[in-house]
Amino acid sequence: MKQVVVTIDGPAGAGKSSVAKNLARRLGYRLLDTGAIYRAVALVAKRAGTPWTDGAACARIARELDISYDFVGDKNHVFVAGEDVSVAIRTPEVSQGASQVSAHAEVRAALLELQRRLGAGGGVVVEGRDTGTVVFPSAEAKFFLTANDEERARRRVAELAASGNQVDFELTLREIRERDERDSTRDVAPMVPAADAVIVDSSTQTLDQVTESLAALVEERSQAR
Ligand code: DC
């Protein structure tokens, strides 16, 4: 079977990370979490005292970003310059920062080649907002995963609680709506489904059901090409 590129785009909290991780494991594929790259840029900028509104300075950080991934158990660890930043990049503050830095065209341009390099050769599940539209437009299997916003807020609260961050549901819901609005209305690479993406609503499906339906389509596409 051909090792294809699978893209999973969609809004925050739709279950992309869990589905992408499960699907990658099920297929024996690598996992490329592109949101983690934008989060890493936001974290490095914050530590350097660089405002997230400064596109040119954030793009310089993006060009010099030394990022790597490592799967340990079922956790995808993210390293910047050798430091494990997996927890530091998931705080609500860095989430907002990632959304802000990702709106700059020069930041997106700086990260495009990096993402393509990390996904080169296929056999990869790529997760993000524009991976099927911009980063890998010729990916063999594209999905747009979504869920209603209250369900997405509930999942985000549970996910943050699991990593030791207690957050308020109403506040999380508001932040999710704000972030969706910014991610889908920005001028560059807005979050929209690719024309050839399969749209999957995960609101009422379990993780296993979603993973299985995606895996079935990927397997069909890997044989057909
Ligand atoms: O998937 P995530 O929550 O880790 O993404 C963090 C932010 O990064 C999100 O608000 C939008 C941005 N992002 C993007 O613009 N393009 C991507 N391919 C992935 C993430």
Mean pLDDT over each residue of the chain, to the nearest integer: 93
Please state the pTM of the whole predicted model. Answer: 0.90
The pLDDT assigned to 224 comes to 64
Atom of ligand 1 lying closest to residue 17 CA:
1
Cα–Cα distances in angstroms (integers) from residue 135 to residues 4, 42, 142, in the given order: 14, 20, 12
For residue 157, the domain's CATH number is 3.40.50.300
Which is it for strands 75-80 and 67-72: parallel, antiparallel or unpaired?
antiparallel
Of all protein residues, the one whose alpha carbon is nearest to atom 16 of ligand 1 is 129
CB of residue 76 inside a 6 A radius of ligand 1: no
Residue-wise pLDDT for 76-100, tens only, equals 899 999 999 999 999 989 999 999 9
Q: Give me ligand 1 centre to Cα 212, in Å.
A: 24
Q: How many domains does the structure of the chain reveal?
A: 1
| Residue 71 near residue 84 (C-beta atoms within 8 A) | no
- The range of the structural domain enclosing residue 104 comes to 5-224
Residue-wise pLDDT for 158-175, tens only, equals 988 988 888 999 999 999
